[in-house]
Amino acid sequence: MQQVIRRCAWGWVFLALGACQVSSGVAPAPSRPRTVLAAGAISRADQAEAARLMRSAEASFAAEEYLEVLRSTDEVTRRYPAADVSGDALLLNARAELALGSGERADAAAERYVELLPPGDARATAVRLLQVEALERSPALQLDRLLRIDAGATPEEIASAVPLARAAADAVTPEELGAVLAGAPGTGPLAPIAQARHAVNLLERGDAGSATRFASAAIEGGAAPPERALAEGVLRGELPPERRRARPVSIATVLPMGGPPALAEFAQLVGEGVEVAAATVLGDDYQVTVVPYDDLGDPLTAAGFVAQLETEAVAGVVGFLEDEALVAAGRSRQSALPIVSPTARSAAEAGEGVYSLEGADPEAARTVARYAASRALQRVALLYPETPTAVEEADAFEAEAERFGVQIVGHFPYPPLATFFEEQIIGAQDALRALEIAALGLAPEDTLRVEMLEPVGLFVPIPPEDVEYLAPQLAHFALDTLAIEVMGTSGWTDPQVLASLDRLYLDGVVATAPAGAGPNSPGQQRFREAYERHFQRTLVSSTPAIGYDATLLLLEALRAGRPAPADMRAAFQGLSDIEGATGIFSVTDDRVVRRTDLVRIENRRTIPITY
């Protein structure tokens, strides 16, 4: 045995291959089938000459005369490729190249040898380990060769290869690791080592979908405890502790800080909310930088910033407070740069990847329609401004109401920014009651027998600024004396509306109200504490909360990392029940929606309704 070890410096490889020639006269152990470089006939004389050259090469290897080894093995592989020792000569050539420090040539010769072996051949693992030794200066190539070790490896070989694979996988960059996995088989016994690490890299970058696929593949491939823990953490959306360092993220604001005084003051307060969110929402895992831009209240200036923002590669933008600015900015983008507006109502017109806290809420309108059906309202008229938001809510109400058998007797739209609504109110009143009152023989002013009238309603999906003008006129035309129930959406329950409008104009109105938006809600309390801790002063305005919530949604979409721009839409679509200062938000069908409750307004308070 000592003679064998002395003559075969890489005896553990050669014994595995059955190729070491023992000159002691002891019969060799049974060997595996020979590998040959080329199929074909060969004369007995050539076979004998090839065997002689191979014996000479082995003797030279034992004597550490590696250049002579190369000369003899080159002659065998070149002149006698069909000889039954040609494969052995190629492998010995690789070992000699390795001994001489020619790693690339050693790897190439070894790779050529492996290609001669059938899949699953047990000899391949030892050769792969030879390649790993030859490629010590290239961890990526080492990892590639290790990932090509297949099921033919013995447990002992795998045990020796595992630490090599871990070291190589830890030494490459995330990009190199991804490239190696893309080119190597994903089914070998060492594949989970690379797959689990790649899953962590993908999760850190924000590609949660791909991270999950690689983590699942690692577990299914039999990942050992260290890698299994990494993969299971990825499936939970968690990075390992050593990777939880503060990662830089830049977002931008585009606000009219230099606009008209009232707008500038409003923008300043919105910006305060953005600042609080950037400092607190993602915690210590991220270092969020806010890059401010001042659009001076000019939509063209606002849109002009978009190209600059795209080249600066910010993760997203909060701002564009007015509809015209938001639409112009959204349509001027060349990429999927996400934009979140705290106030504009035209996100749907601005393009994919543009979101707003305001805008149409079709589900809220459908909720009110179901309430109308539960009240057995016989007829409902619709009164609303001619804006995309109101029209969408009116259409959603109508479709749901008709599904439950509630009759819609008329649409009464009015121009945006209107302040007088007599024509629309009288039209709705007549559509709801004129024929019925005439049939009963009642005079229009006769309210003594109103109990005889059928239950009817008026659905008024209007923004808060319209409630100030329209609600008093509804009272003036005495819809309540005709038992016409007024219903609306969340514009009616806006905190400023409830605080400033006479309660006589609001009492009895049924509408929707954002859930989790009260002063004692967890989200509001959390924001207040964060604001006062950050600025070291008391929060006195409700406006910063909307800047906070818009930024909250953007940062929550980035929480698992920074997705590629093309993946940001999926990241937003995954947002559900995000508890902010002004409500509980989800993203559904590319729009931000608040969870709402159905309420009745009484004495400036909202009383929940169950039906």
Within this chain, do residues 49 and 174 fall inside the same structural domain, yes or no? yes
- Above 90 in pLDDT, residue 123? yes
Distance CA 236, CA 200 (A): 11
CA distance 91 to 117: 12
Residue position matching structure tokens 């015209």: 324
Per-residue confidence (pLDDT) for residue 16, from 0 to 100: 38
pLDDT at 10 over 50: no
CATH of the domain at 257: 3.40.50.2300
Are 136 and 212 in a shared domain?
yes
pLDDT digits (tens, 9 = 90+) for 56-85: 999 999 999 999 999 999 999 999 999 999
Residue 508 lies in a domain: no
HSE-CB of 371 using CA atoms within 13 angstroms: 26
Q: Are strands 354-356 and 317-319 parallel, antiparallel or unpaired?
A: unpaired
pLDDT for the residue 287: 83
What is the torsion angle, in degrees rounded to the nearest 10, for the CA atoms of residue 100, residue 105, residue 107 and residue 110?
-90
Assess whether pLDDT exceeds 50 at residue 433.
yes
pLDDT band at 589 (very low <50, low <70, confident <90, very high): confident
| H-helix segments, 206-319 | 208-220, 225-235, 261-280, 299-311
526 secondary structure, DSSP code? H
> CA–CA separation, 345 vs 328, rounded Å?
13
| Cα 234 to Cα 200: distance, rounded to the nearest angstrom | 6
Report the distance separating Cα 288 and Cα 199, nearest Å. 24
Q: Quote the CA–CA distance of 467 and 461 in Å, as a whole number.
A: 10
- Residue of 28 and 183 predicted with greater confidence: 183
| Residue (of 329, 337, 355) closest to 564 by Cα position | 337
Q: Which has the closest alpha carbon to 232: 160, 474, 240? A: 240
215, 243, 271: which is the final residue of a domain?
A: 243
216 and 347 part of one domain? no
Q: Which residues contact 296 (CB under 8 A, 6 or more apart)?
A: 256, 257, 258, 259
Residue 568 clears pLDDT 80, i.e. is over it: no
We report the CATH number of the domain holding residue 53 as 1.25.40
Q: Which of 169, 246, 155 is nearest to 201 (CA)?
A: 169
Domain contains 500: no
d(CA 126, CA 452): 96
Mean pLDDT of the chain: 88
- 318 alpha-carbon distance from chain centroid: 18
- Dig out the tokens for 37 from the structure: 């470089």
Answer yes or no: is pLDDT of 546 > 70.
Answer: yes
**214, 243, 272: which is the final residue of a domain?**
243
Q: What is the pLDDT of residue 20?
A: 37
* CA nearest neighbour of 339 among 323, 312, 318, 358: 318
CA distance 500 to 492: 12
Residue 595 tokens, joined: 């969870």
Q: Are residues 375 and 416 in the same domain?
A: yes
522 and 589 housed in the same domain:
yes
pLDDT, mean of residues 467-491:
92
Q: Each residue of 438-453: pLDDT tens digit?
A: 777 776 566 546 667 8
- Residues 368/510, Cβ–Cβ less than 8 Å: yes
User: 87, 35 in Cβ contact below 8 A?
Assistant: yes
Query: CB 296: neighbour CB atoms within 10 A?
Result: 16
Domain boundary among 208, 243, 278: 243
Predicted confidence at residue 533, as pLDDT, reads 94
Does residue 418 surpass a pLDDT of 90? yes
What integer is the mean pLDDT of 179-198? Answer: 94
Q: List, in order, residues 6 or more apart from 566 with CB less than 8 Å away.
A: 336
574 pLDDT band, cuts 50/70/90, is confident
pLDDT-derived band at 611 (thresholds 50, 70, 90) equals confident
Q: What mean pLDDT comes out for the span 467-490?
A: 91
> Which residue's entry shows tokens 């008391």?
538
Q: Any idea of the CA torsion for 161, 167, 172, 174, to the nearest 10 degrees?
A: 90
List phi, psi (to 5°) of 513.
-140, 140
Separation of alpha carbons 402 and 408, rounded Å: 7
Q: Are 529 and 521 in contact (CB under 8 A)?
A: no
Residues 6+ apart with CB under 8 A from 350: 326, 327, 329, 330, 331, 339
Q: Is the pLDDT of residue 90 over 90?
A: yes
**Per this entry, what is the length of the chain?**
611
Residue 478 lies in a domain: yes
Q: Which of 14-28, 402-416, 567-581 has the highest average model confidence (pLDDT)?
A: 402-416
- What pLDDT, on the 0 to 100 scale, is given for residue 11? 35
* The pLDDT of residue 245: 58
Look at residue 496 and tell me if it is in a domain. Answer: no
* Residue 115 belongs to some domain of the structure: yes
In a domain, 495, yes or no: no
324: domain range? 247-360+515-595
Query: What's the pLDDT at 452?
Result: 74
Do 456 and 533 lie in one domain? The reply is no
Question: 384 and 323: one domain?
Answer: no
Question: Are residues 196 and 227 in contact, defined by beta-carbon separation less than 8 angstroms?
Answer: yes
Q: In DSSP terms, which residues pair with 593 in a beta bridge? A: 586
pLDDT at residue 300, rounded to an integer: 87
Which long-range contacts (C-beta less than 8 Å, at least 24 apart) are formed by 467-470?
Answer: 467/491, 467/492, 467/494, 467/497, 467/501, 468/497, 468/500, 468/501, 469/418, 469/419, 469/420, 469/421, 470/383, 470/421
Task: Specify whether 482 is located in the same domain as 523.
Answer: no
Confidence (pLDDT) at 138: 94
- Residue 166: what pLDDT? 95
CA dihedral 531, 532, 533, 535 (to 10 degrees): 80
Give the confidence band of 371 by pLDDT, cuts at 50, 70, 90.
very high
Whether pLDDT at 24 is above 80: no
In a domain, 278, yes or no: yes
What torsion do the CA atoms of 595, 598, 603, 604 make, to the nearest 10 degrees? Answer: 20
In angstroms and rounded to an integer, the radius of gyration of the C-alpha atoms of the chain is 38
Question: Which of 495 and 147 is assigned the larger pLDDT?
Answer: 147
Are 440 and 348 contained in the same domain? no
Whether 468 and 546 share a structural domain: no
The number of domains in the chain is 3
**Is the same domain home to 257 and 350?**
yes
Average pLDDT over residues 136-143: 94
Average pLDDT on 550-577 reads: 81
**In what helix (H) or strand (E) does residue 28 lie, and over which residues does it extend?**
none
Distance in angstroms (rounded) separating the CA atoms of residues 596 and 512:
6
Q: Does residue 419 sit within a domain?
A: yes
Digit-coded pLDDT (tens) for 286-328:
788 999 999 888 888 888 888 888 877 788 999 999 999 999 9
Tokens of 448: 């003594």
Nearest to 117 by CA among 250, 195, 198, 16: 16
225 and 303 together in one domain = no
